[in-house]
Amino acid sequence: MSFPKKPGGKALDVLQNLPRITLANLRPEPGARKTEKRRGRGQHGGNRSGRGHKGERQRGNRPRLGFEGGQTPFYLSIPKYGYNEGHSRRPQYQPLSLKRLQYLIDLGRVDPTQPIDLTQLVNARGVTIQPLKRDYGVQLVDEGADIFAAKINIEVQRASEGVVAAIERNGGVITTGFYDPISLGILIKPVPFFLRGQPIPKRMLPGEDMVPYYTDAENRGYLADPEKIQQARLALAKKYGYILPDISKDELYHMLSMRKDVRQIFFGLAPGWVVSMPEKKILKTTDEKLLKYYSS
């Protein structure tokens, strides 16, 4: 590879000819540093120090927030209604926009040549999941669907229709899967789990209220019928007006068709195995009863 002109050009000349950088040569960008407000100093900052004139304001004795001088405050005069009832028990899903996913792929933090899982996203620090705060996983959001251009095999917990269309338009595969809270905790932090020395548990099925969502082919649920999913893919392509690329002719077809079993938490690891980190070994039980339990 021969360069037609010297790389860097003017920048290189500048670097070579200017004097060395010292504290005397540096100055922050105008508007980068703002001087702080110092109260009680000088003609303008002093005197009443920005507290106003007499009364509760200057003397720091104002009543609590929301108090309206004795009149029934706004937050008490409105009657209660069950909008927020049980809000702390509702499942939450951390949103992940397609724009951010594209950003992560572009920077190389997420490898699109391997199936993308919640573990991969957390390793790449793309999302932060808190299973103890009723987080049940990650949801993909439509933002950035028009600039999304990556062929990936991704598994999330919830996805909107626009997202599914955007991913399938680029020849990718999207699946929605359920992880119960214990499995989720293991999924986002696999290494501390392996250091605990427990056998990998099997993933529990979703509750009755979530089963309809995950058995629906429209949402690409992991419990749905594969033929119905194929039909749904075609229907979606027709609805959004793009040609559905044939992934069976793709070179990465084997990777794109990799999907987890219903009871599996990690790719390549089955429930019932113990991973020994210091010796880099996997221990499997031979007891039939245990095997039957873990494979049910």
Partner 1 sequence: MAASMLCKRTAMLCRTLKGLSCSKTVLSANSQSGFLLQAASYNPRPLKLNLHEPYVPDKDSEKTPEWQKTAKYDRKLFGRYGSASGIDPASLWPSHEQLDKIIAEEREWHPPLEVMLKNIEAREKQETEKRLAKERLLAANMAKMPKMVADWRKEKRETKQKLKEEKARRAKLLAEARERFGYAVDPRSPKFLEMVAEIEKEEKKKKKLMKRRLKEEQVVAPVTPPAASS
Smallest gap from residue 185 Cβ to partner 1 (A): 15
DSSP, collapsed to helix, strand or coil, labels residue 139 as strand
Q: Is 282 near partner 1 (CB under 8 A)?
A: no
Binding partner 1 (rule: CB under 8 A), the pick from 211, 244, 247, 282 is 211
Answer yes or no whether residue 253 interacts with partner 1 by CB under 8 A: no
- Residue 156: which residues within 8 A CB-CB, separation 6 or more? 96, 118, 137, 138, 139, 140, 174, 175, 176, 177
Residues 215-244 that bind partner 1 (CB under 8 A): 215, 223
CB of 71 to partner 1, least distance (A): 45
Considering the complex, what minimum distance in angstroms separates the CB of residue 223 from partner 1?
Answer: 7
- Is residue 232 within 8 A of residue 217, CB to CB? The reply is yes
* List of residues 6+ apart from 255 with CB closer than 8 A: 113, 114, 115, 153
Q: 3-state DSSP call for residue 109?
A: coil
Contact with partner 1 (CB under 8 A): which of 91, 103, 143, 205? Answer: 205
Find all residues with CB under 8 Å of 296, minimum gap 6, and list them: 202
Nearer to partner 1, 177 or 272 (CB): 272
DSSP annotation of 186 reads: H
Measure the CA–CA gap between 218 and 168, rounded to whole angstroms.
13
Please list every residue from 85 through 144 that binds partner 1, using CB under 8 A: 106-109, 111-113, 123-124
Cα–Cα distance, 174 to 45 (Å, whole number): 60
Determine if 271 is a binding residue for partner 1 (CB under 8 A): no
Binding status of residue 272 toward partner 1 by CB under 8 A: yes
Site string for partner 1, 158-197 (x = CB under 8 A): ---------------------------------x--xxxx
Q: Which stretch in 60-68, 85-93, 147-155, 230-238 sits in contact with partner 1 by CB under 8 A?
A: 147-155
Smallest distance, Å, CB 118 to partner 1?
15
DSSP state of 266: B
Closer by beta carbon to partner 1, 234 or else 283: 283
